[in-house]
Structure 1
Amino acid sequence: MTTTSLKPSPTEPGILAFHKRCEEFYPADAVDAPIEQQRKWYDALCAQFDAPAPVGMAKDDALVLGRIPIRRYHPARVLTETLLFYIHGGGFVVGSLSSHDAICAEIAEAAGAELVSVDYRLAPEHVWPAAFEDCSDVLGHLLNERRPVVVIGDSAGGNLAAGIVLKARDERLEGIVGQALIYPGLGGDVSAGSYVEMAEAPGLSTTDVLYYRDIYKAPATNPYALPLASADFSGLPPVFITAAHFDPLRDDARRYAARLARAGVEVWFREEPQMIHAWLRARNMSEGARVGFAALCQAVANFARRAGALGADR
């Protein structure tokens, strides 16, 4: 008798419709295509989920150290002096200032805080540690403004966010008042846990994760590259971590949250029960994504405002 195993999949209609729409622009086997094709597909996908900026929001682009592109988001109503630093996902291969533009604008608006996003160098043209160095350099630049900073990242950006915060702690840099990691890839064991259970989950497979790891060329024992490899999680700033249940990266988030909590770090952890990888883009299609995005924005706002509230009159 032969048994057929079903691919793990959510049941919420909104997230299923989101996944179907994504695959119309970015096929499930996209990693088999040339890099330039992958980027064209990803740009087309991102354009489908773009949205107008909140009323009154201003944006300006600049270069850090004369070479690293950043974009600053200035909400019409600023409630805190804290800066938000957003690092986009995309497997270290795709993504740009434009790919997460609407997401950044909405987080800045919800938190009432200025937000800075970064266009770090991508693989395979630039392997480890190029992206990490770019993000670390921008963080240093922001900390030099002598304002509190909350570091935020999704997926590969969550990896970079966790890594640069670890490095900042080791260098005793002051001013990071929170971090928000959204379905981060942190270097977990691909032969166990969610990497096996969710190996064929919609939106991201374990095969995809292996592809991105291989193309990025990060050293397996370096905790800045793979933060779960760290031997010391003490002294880190408060963290909000959100995982998608139907995601091979799910257990990376679970394990990182547990290790930080055991080290005495202030941790808030959510696991979105019906979500798949990249659900941030589904916030206007899926009720689960809407609720998860609201929780993320609230956590970021809490970190930012308790560190540097200005009051409601500014």
Structure 2
Amino acid sequence: MREDPENEQADDGGGKQRPIPDEAGILAFLTLSDSFYPPDAANADVVQQRRWYDALCAAFDAPPPPGMTSEDGKVAGRIPVRRYRPAALTARARILYIHGGGFVVGSLDSHDAICAEIAEAAGAELVSVDYRLSPEHVWPAAFDDCWAVLVDLLLEGRPVIVAGDSAGGNLAAGIALKARDEELRGILGQALVYPALGGDLSAGSYVEMAEAPGLTTADVAYYRDIYKAPAGHPHAFPLAAGRLEGLPPTFITAAHYDPLRDDARVYAARLALSGVSVEFREEREMVHAWLRARFMSEGARAGFAALCDALRRMAQA
């Protein structure tokens, strides 16, 4: 690993500096990803973006762990969910997992293998939610769907851990804030994976990592625009929350080569200053979406193991 990775950059051919990690596994992952989902995918129409994303996800698919069962259903008669149950069920708490995809792409299938492996590692039931996507359904549709599933799970009388990656990390953090605000009890913890939390696009990692591979600051701006959440709303942009006291124990993991990196850093710091128990990791050689690289990259494998361990500890507390 390089001594000062912030200074390692390459010209992208257009005069802009593109930060590049060192690890061979993550570089191979980026090459394979780009062959399915081009770096300029956000310039295509949404239908094409979803086709590319589905192909990308299929390329990194994996069989479920032995004995894992899953069942599709609906919450409130309309919100598709998938429930995973490992062969060795040791936790009473359940995990609500919310997939990433910029609020534009992603589905129950896109994160199927990831969810199955998390459920297995945590020894817990896991429920994945297929929330409505933009631009067909803008804010607060996705948030409302995730909130409805959370309420439904808590009404069944068992504790819940909320988790998600990228846009899913945004939604997980947002519903945890709303649960706190409405004094809804039963959330044991939250796990946020390279979450998009509403940081300043003109500062910090949004500038330093503006041309990072896997996700650029321009991509983040595009996803925010298409989602159309109101600026400053704490449930849509959790960094805008005036106070963070009373939130559940939190695990946050960030990718160093990611414009969203400082969202995770700042949120973790603010949570700690607010008295919330926080575990923070920054994966030094990782890029956005490194969860899919867990079979190709040692760094991603270690990061995924840490995420699973945190969820296991939360679920079995």
Is the TM value for this pair above 0.5?
Answer: yes
| CA-to-aligned-CA distance 1:76-122 (integer Å, 9 cap, x gap) | 00011110000000000000000000000000000000000000000
Root mean square deviation of aligned Cα: 0.8
Q: Which amino acid aligns with 2:267?
A: Y
- Secondary structure of the residue aligned to 2:279 is strand
- Percent of residue pairs identical: 70
Task: Give yes or no for contact 2:16–2:211 (8 Å, CA) kept in 1.
Answer: no
Question: How much has 1:5 moved relative to structure 2?
Answer: 6.0
Question: How much has 1:135 moved relative to structure 2?
Answer: 0.2
Structure 1 length-normalised TM:
0.96
- Secondary structure of the residue aligned to 2:133 is coil
- Secondary structure of the residue aligned to 1:7 is strand
Question: How much has 1:248 moved relative to structure 2?
Answer: 0.1
Where does residue 91 of structure 1 map in the other structure? Answer: 102
Task: Give yes or no for contact 2:96–2:127 (8 Å, CA) kept in 1.
Answer: yes
Question: How much has 1:6 moved relative to structure 2?
Answer: 3.5
Q: Which amino acid aligns with 1:125?
A: E
1:276 to 287, 300, 303: 287
Is the aligned partner of 1:236 residue 2:247? yes
Partners of 1:232 and 1:141 in 2: how far apart? Answer: 26
Partners of 2:58 and 2:49 in 1: how far apart? Answer: 14
Where does residue 6 of structure 2 map in the other structure? Answer: none
Where does residue 142 of structure 1 map in the other structure? Answer: 153
1:223 to 234, 241, 248: 234
Where does residue 202 of structure 1 map in the other structure? Answer: 213
Where does residue 275 of structure 2 map in the other structure? Answer: 264
- Secondary structure of the residue aligned to 2:29 is helix
Is the aligned partner of 1:181 residue 2:187? no
Structure 2 length-normalised TM:
0.95
Partners of 1:198 and 1:101 in 2: how far apart? Answer: 29
1:33-44 → structure 2 map (5 Å cutoff): 33-44=44-55
- Secondary structure of the residue aligned to 1:210 is helix
Q: Which amino acid aligns with 1:167?
A: K
Residue ranges of structure 2 left out of the alignment (5+ in a row):
1-10
| CA-to-aligned-CA distance 1:117-152 (integer Å, 9 cap, x gap) | 000000000000000000000000000111110100
Is the aligned partner of 1:290 residue 2:301? yes
Where does residue 132 of structure 1 map in the other structure? Answer: 143
Structure 1 stretches of 4+ with a deviation exceeding 2 A read 3-6
